[in-house]
Structure 1
């Protein structure tokens, strides 16, 4: 190899390294600090936002954030009672600036909620009417749906048919499921049933719901789809096998559909969060790298229309960008070490809970025995 060839290779390596560095800085700085938030109403082209897995965590955060921005919200989750609770919370917070006038809804700063309670049917009729010219007109609807079912007839009857009747501007595919704790493939608590459960919930909804809303978005040449995957999709996450693989499917599908609709004005975004304080993540205490769900959602919504692929949160992006610079085998080893630690912590917690439950049962049995002896 002569000197000129070595020089060319050296310059190519330098240029590639500079490009990677610039891309890292861009991913870290531009979406979270420099970019102006987009006009979501203009990008969406319609007033309804559908959020799956909307009763907790990131999905609930998206629902509140989009409601604050004036969208009508369709909450989709399994339990009706929890849907009703979130619906009431959103209405209390986001409808506090709306009052019904003789002709339409107008914004104000305070409202007497007793007025609405006395005229509930009238208010609901006006709120859920087809969108008027007033940008502040919005409402919240709910659909109780079990995403653990893969039955297409159930989907069509209970969910898709209702979604098609609305003008959907935004779809947030957030619903998901994971392991209770990481473990080797053949040792995973729940086994085959859990693998099927996770695969169905993490793969089927995002596939079918995009298929349901894209026809109307394509026809009007506007709309927003946000597919919430996971940063676990970036790596071969040992001990989280099926979960990480299912999230990789979401990422890959999103990238393909982005290319298919690249010549349209439809925004399709892939969001890969790291750990957020949610029930799914089994984390209760927030920190710089582990934000509350509402804080995370506020940050993630700000990136819609700004960037196609993101973690949605600055601190998460720092971790991901740092890991990208590490050799793959080092990154995988570091991640696996953390998975093993998580495994030990969760197994110890489960054993402790089992011991407490066993002690409680033994105490109850002892009391029952004493009662029988005295009788």
Structure 2
């Protein structure tokens, strides 16, 4: 019996060391690719002439649009606000000299995809970035409290079911429908890149963001399934799962963990050849590992969740005061 227990502990130790070694190797790959190797601009240029980005006028989407233009691709910006589309298009055109096409749509609506299809007709699309996203509320909250937070802020409140429908339309339907529009031509040409921007909160059940996190895990599963189906056709379908990125939606400032949108985008593009999903930066990869090791019995307690809500709200208020 003692011999059996000893062998069991040895096997457990070997397995633990093997698992830890895999994590170390993955981190080293991130470090090497983002610091030295990267992905050459010629790779993206070889995929096609145009990059299509949804949610392209703010944050990560805007940063992807600028970065792909710098790397030699023409850009299709898809977003809901005409003034922002014109502004970003002018910025990219003046900075890079690339062609920029704009498509104004609201992704909460379901009848927009024929309009998008017509605007994409005839374009050799090498890259699609499914970035458009919607957060249920700016502050973390329990599922049934989403409407209460909006009322406290005197924001005109949509019906609860309408909020749910809008999040599904923006975070889930848009990904499937945009992929359906672009993938057939990529399959014919045997090359293309589809980047689906999910979220780090989708790596595990995420209280206080449960609806948002649930829509984002759809993106991860959809991406990996499509990659399995079409990877052999020369197409890369990758899910990027960032944690904190400084943007209007996240309301955080850049730091060690929270990356600027520009820094995150450059890092994530250097990692596009590393598997079918990634967190896009070494800091976020380490954070994902740590978060996955936190015990649920502690993280899911009311006391912890209440403290987390207070911390996030106090941080948001402090950042708001600094900006005024």
> Within 1, Cα distance between the matches of 2:102 and 2:235?
25
Contact 1:229-1:250 at 8 Å conserved across structures:
yes
Which of 216, 223, 234 is 1:247 aligned to?
216
Contact 2:138-2:250 at 8 Å conserved across structures:
no
Other structure's SS at 1:91 match: helix
Aligned ranges for residues 1-375 of structure 1 at < 5 Å?
A: 2-3=1-2, 5-34=4-33, 36-39=37-40, 41-42=42-43, 45-95=47-97, 138-151=98-111, 154-156=112-114, 158-178=115-135, 179-189=137-147, 190=157, 191-283=160-252, 285-330=253-298, 336=305, 339-342=308-311, 344-345=313-314
CA shift digits 1:326-363 (9 cap, x unpaired): 444445569846642356538979xx9xxxxxxxxxxx
Q: Structure 1 stretch 204-213 or stretch 303-312: which is displaced more? A: 303-312
Change in 2 beyond 3 A, CA 1:323/1:88: same
> Within 2, Cα distance between the matches of 1:51 and 1:250?
16
> Within 2, Cα distance between the matches of 1:50 and 1:222?
15
**Shift in Å at residue 40 of structure 1?**
5.3
Alignment: residue pair count? 303
Change in 2 beyond 3 A, CA 1:347/1:48: closer
Alignment TM-score, normalising by the size of structure 2: 0.85
Change in 2 beyond 3 A, CA 1:264/1:23: farther
> Within 2, Cα distance between the matches of 1:94 and 1:347?
35
Alignment TM-score, normalising by the size of structure 1: 0.74
Q: Structure 1 stretch 224-233 or stretch 18-27: which is displaced more? A: 18-27
CA shift digits 1:171-214 (9 cap, x unpaired): 00100010222222222125322222212110111111111111
Change in 2 beyond 3 A, CA 1:78/1:347: same
> Within 1, Cα distance between the matches of 2:224 and 2:122?
28
> Within 2, Cα distance between the matches of 1:247 and 1:83?
25
Other structure's SS at 1:143 match: strand
> Within 2, Cα distance between the matches of 1:230 and 1:73?
24
Between structure 1 and structure 2, the one with the greater Rg is 1
**Shift in Å at residue 58 of structure 1?**
0.4
**Shift in Å at residue 7 of structure 1?**
4.3
Contact 1:38-1:306 at 8 Å conserved across structures:
no
Please list every run of 5 or more consecutive structure 2 residues that lacks an aligned counterpart in the other structure.
Answer: 148-156
Please list every run of 5 or more consecutive structure 1 residues that lacks an aligned counterpart in the other structure.
Answer: 96-137, 353-375
Other structure's SS at 2:233 match: coil
**Shift in Å at residue 53 of structure 1?**
0.6
Contact 1:181-1:346 at 8 Å conserved across structures:
no
Change in 2 beyond 3 A, CA 1:260/1:288: same
CA shift digits 1:267-291 (9 cap, x unpaired): 11111111111011022x2211112
Deviating above 6 A after TM superposition, structure 1's stretches of 4 or more consecutive aligned residues are 346-349
Contact 2:79-2:85 at 8 Å conserved across structures:
yes
Query: RCO higher in 1 or 2 (8 Å CA, sep ≥ 6)?
Result: 1
**Shift in Å at residue 247 of structure 1?**
0.4
